[in-house]
Structure 1
Amino acid sequence: MCIVATPLQAHEFWIEPLDYTVDAGATVQATFRNGQEFAGSALSFIPNRSARFDMVVSGNRAEVPSRIGNNPAFDVEDLPEGLLTIIHETTDNTVTYSEWVKWVNFTNHKDFTFAQQGHLDRGLSEENFKESYRRFAKALVAVGDGAGSDADRGLRVEFVAQANPYTDDMSGGLPVLLMFDGAPKVDAQIEMFDKAPDGSVEITLHRTDAEGRATLPVDAGHEYLLDSVTILPMEPAVEGDPVWETLWAALTFAVPEE
């Protein structure tokens, strides 16, 4: 199922390569971005805001050699040929909902309206309450021939591409698997941001099936951001602690021109 989405005020976080296809041995650069509708501010690498910053190429995983303040955050040269996966997990951050309508809008947008009644059933305040959030982002880049495959990289929430968008036939779409705590996440909303060569962005909604899978329509020459959010209740230890936790999975990739 595909539904055209109406943009709302939720801020996604993603890894944006400056070029999704690079020559073997060339420098690969990628920026952390936070924003809306596949456009946002570039963020520097700050170690105490990063729980994990890895790369996987030719099946080998290594920590990204980044220094405080680097922007682009990923700036690595002389990588071997193959499919490069850039992985970043942030530390926890919090946001305060000053009024109930903001929570309603957010939970409607990200497809967990049950959290509205769940909030009331727990007897929580309808204003000035906190949510803790953590981001789990991946990006796929073709180095040289770009050969290789994505895999589960052990993130708490994670998109796993089931085909290689740089080398495989994408005429039938890109199959993806959404994972949560090591198991497929079934019947989950996926928000897909599709950026055309002219810079315009179309946003559509999709759902995973009973096996946590979805096949997403893609076009040659376009860039993509996939986003899915998982929400969990939190019990505050003291007044003012977060009462909800959200886990954001993101995957960026491109489909080369034919």
Structure 2
Amino acid sequence: MFSRFLIAVLLLSGQPGFGHEFWIEPESYQVEPGASMTATLRNGQNFEGISLAWFDNRFTRFELATGETLTPVEGRMGDTPALQAIAPGDGLLIVLHETTPSNLTYKEWEKFLAFAEHKDFPTAAAAHTAAGWPKEGFRESYTRHAKALMAVGDGSGQDRAFGLATEFVALTNPYDPQFDGNMRVRVTYQGLPRRDAQVEVFDKGADGTVAVSLTRTDQDGVAVVPVTPGHSYLFDAVVLRASPQAGSSEKAPVWETLWAALTFAVPE
């Protein structure tokens, strides 16, 4: 128990070298009204990661949305899973989570170059050099902006924008009986569509095998991803921008990343 708690603290403190993605993983994506439900905050890679406990000073939003109703997630320090609640009435339930900023330090220029290539920021290296920032020992600030789609009872309803700094907005409901197997999502940043943005798709089968692929949004910020019944999914999209703190001190971050994530499952 102590070692798991220590790992969570290290992850939340922004130590470099740990996993990249952050997501909300319900124990079950489909529950009945009035049933107990749980969801874990995870940090890791390739849709595999460790559970992060409840720390109320590490997030700015943690809410459940049903229709127009927003309800804060209640918890206590150290709760694992972080979400433990009673399912509301029938409908699409959306779990929202935004973190406070954390920092990491790039000790090697090559690691930043690899990250920029992986997340599709082809001009990052040139912008970094033009700004005169150091290529060793520089910092990045990052925040997480995650959503999960769950079905309570019939799971009917529609996702919407909730004003996250960056977010996925599901344009189709995977729990709808008329769902055609194509998940349509819009990626936004500061409330506007992100055009030609890279979306990383993690597809987990019933046997736990994970397939990873890339797609892009169109001119309306929309990506269409074919999905498979019985599988669960994590969509990930990252914004990289110059930190507003850059140049304010030697230890100030020069880059800032904002990570959007969406998780859901497709019923069999």
TM-score (norm 1): 0.94
Q: Distance in 1 between matches of 2:241 and 2:19?
A: 18
Helix, strand or coil at the partner of 1:205: strand
Helix, strand or coil at the partner of 1:101: helix
- Among candidates 104, 108, 113, match of residue 104 of structure 1: 113
Structure 2 residue aligned with 1:90: 99
CA RMSD of aligned residues (A): 1.1
Considering Cα pairs closer than 8 Å and 6+ residues apart, tell me whether 1 or 2 has the greater RCO: 1
Q: Is residue 2:264 matched to residue 1:253?
A: yes
- C-alpha contact (below 8 Å) 1:45/1:67 kept by paired residues: yes
Structure 2 residue aligned with 1:238: 249
Equivalent AA in structure 2 for residue 248 of structure 1: W
Q: Distance in 2 between matches of 1:148 and 1:167?
A: 8
Q: Distance in 2 between matches of 1:170 and 1:69?
A: 38
- Same amino acid, percent of matched pairs: 48
Q: Where does 1:1-258 land on structure 2 (aligned, <5 Å)?
A: 11-234=20-243, 235-257=246-268
1:93 is displaced (CA, Å) by 0.2
1:196 is displaced (CA, Å) by 0.4
TM-score (norm 2): 0.91
Equivalent AA in structure 2 for residue 83 of structure 1: L
Q: Distance in 2 between matches of 1:48 and 1:172?
A: 39
Structure 2: segments with no counterpart, 5+ residues: 1-17
1:20 is displaced (CA, Å) by 0.3
- C-alpha contact (below 8 Å) 2:32/2:87 kept by paired residues: no
Helix, strand or coil at the partner of 2:124: helix
Structure 1: segments with no counterpart, 5+ residues: 1-8
Counting matched residue pairs gives 249
Q: Distance in 2 between matches of 1:163 and 1:171?
A: 9
Q: Distance in 2 between matches of 1:101 and 1:169?
A: 47
| Structure 1 runs of 4+ with >2 Å offset | 168-172
Q: Distance in 2 between matches of 1:182 and 1:162?
A: 15
